[in-house]
Amino acid sequence: MNAVLETDPILETDFIKEMVRQMRALDSYGSWDGKSADKVLDAFVLTKERKREIPVIGDPDETTLARVKAFYNAIAVLIEKECGKMAVPMIQITHEGFGRGLITVGKLVVFDRTLRDVHRFGFESLSKMKDEGDKLLAVALEIIGKYPEVAGL
């Protein structure tokens, strides 16, 4: 059963539209072709029941890693849209589900986060995912505004 409703107005926001684009871009076999945005993004919503189904011990699978990358790629694309400078996401995750995420603009690191428990990557709702994305975007744009000369290198 989908945790996301097809009629949810949040599906019309820029961040969510970019998330759908990122997920479709990672779909090399066309399994998302013809599917609605709510179905494409449903895996990002981890309700308590869904979290219980994920084993505590285990390596993250490729689809989970792709979701993590799509999330940070979407933030990088929105940074580019806002400031007009190329943003490059770099995600390094070990087979155990730990790693680091960076987004750079020029020589400036605008996002740096330690990633843990990646096999349980998700959000309580699309609204929470959008809020987190918007928060990270705002912080990155603030850093770029503070150091524009470094971001321009």
What does the pLDDT average to over 96-111? 95
Cα(44)–Cα(32) distance, integer angstroms: 15
pLDDT of residue 5: 63
The DSSP symbol for 76 reads H
What does the pLDDT average to over 64-70? 93
Note the pLDDT tens digit of each residue in 33-58: 888 888 899 989 998 888 888 887 77
What does the pLDDT average to over 99-121? 94
pLDDT of residue 4: 63
Of 105, 113, 119, 118, which is closest to residue 153 (Cα–Cα)? Answer: 105
Note the pLDDT tens digit of each residue in 6-15: 667 888 899 9
Cα(58)–Cα(148) distance, integer angstroms: 42
What does the pLDDT average to over 144-151? 94
What type of residue is 142? E
User: How many other C-beta atoms can be found within 10 angstroms of the C-beta atom of residue 31?
Assistant: 9
What does the pLDDT average to over 80-100? 94
Note the pLDDT tens digit of each residue in 122-137: 999 999 999 999 999 9
What type of residue is 72? Y
> 143: helix, coil or strand?
helix
Architecture of domain 9-151: Orthogonal Bundle (1.10)
